[in-house]
Structure 1
Amino acid sequence: MDNLKKWITQKDYVDIHKTNEKLRAELEENEKIINELKISEMFYREKVYDWEDTYVDLQKRTDQFRSDNKKQREKIEKLESYLKDLLKSKTSLEEEVHHWQQTYKELQKNYEDLKLKKKYFEKQQLKLYKKNDNRKRGGCKLTDNTIVRLLKIYAKQGKYAHLNLTQAIKEVSQTHQTYYRVVKRGYSSETTNLRIERLALEHNISLPERGKLR
């Protein structure tokens, strides 16, 4: 029964870790899309402003032509046709801008939702760490406290600073094999190796590359 609980806890942690990585990737992808949408929105806004300026200018020219003689009517009709096309283009661009604005709002909402989910899973991950402190996990029988003491022996911290390796290991009632396995992160379980690295980070201990011992 205890082994089953331990397996479920490990599986929960792996699932949460995978989900957290997936959410982080989705967040980055959404941030990229949002930035692209912002650029597109600015581009279309500038287009709309350009069309509006052109429309005003052509409107003035049309008014001027209206005051001329009848020979200019054909030109006026062409200009009016051109103006209608411009108005259609302007309307189409405005609709496009509106569409991008709506898409941006939806993506922004999804982005906020993903941040909340990421925060939730990070809390769950932290709870799993705290819940399993000082318990067996990841195929390792050592408690967090024992691991920290072995890491301090490696770093020559505290009372282990002036002891030779054999004396220090004897002080924590462990073997040389266990000491080297912890320092090198030589456990088959990635969960255990990550736990060792987390504890080293928390106590400002710099470890060698995995599998090595400088």
Structure 2
Amino acid sequence: MKSGTLFWSDMKVKQIAKLEKGGQPEVLDGSGLDLVEGLAYDWITGNLYWVASRLNAMEVSRRDGSGCMVLLNKNISQPRGLSIDPFKGARWLFWTDWGENPRIEGVLTGSHYLLYPHSLSIFEDNVYWTDRQLNRVFSAHKFRGDGETVVSHLVSQPLSIHVHHPVLQPSETNPCTSNPCAHICLLNHPTVYSIHASVNQDTSNKVASVT
């Protein structure tokens, strides 16, 4: 990533860790994690998202592991891959679900039914994903879902996919910077943000959208 930081999950010890450029590995969260299969970093707010697949949930924390909270755990059966588009005017979170109705979903979007979508990544106007049953890599328009194309069929049981390009992490203003608080700040579609209390804080007023 742009800052030279690497994030990864270790299923054996149930931890998420990071490695800063020139530093030593640091465990972010060593408790409450089960099977983490997808990670996505929002470089604008500094938030880290992940899929807890056995818990059928998506969770989020700050990049240092603080403010950990469950972001979504309803209407999800078998989540796997995760990707984020935090650009101003978009601000979508996409994930794959290969449960009873396999699909790719996005916040505030409908669904696109597939076979066994596993991992996905975003580049410009397209979303790319792997399908383990068809042994292919596909792409389609990230908002409309049309224009589905086979990118590659010369693969065997493709799992993770990630697009690397310098334009994927341009400089962007964090709207939370001008309104700091003790809670975790998440980007919201299309240009606002929302404030969420972590699992250890008062959640009586859990979400407060701010323009």
User: What TM-score, normalized to structure 2?
Assistant: 0.19
Higher strand content, 1 or 2: 2
With CA pairs under 8 Å and 6+ residues apart, which has the higher RCO, 1 or 2? 1
Q: Which one has a bigger Cα radius of gyration?
A: 1
User: What TM-score, normalized to structure 1?
Assistant: 0.19
Higher helix content, 1 or 2: 1
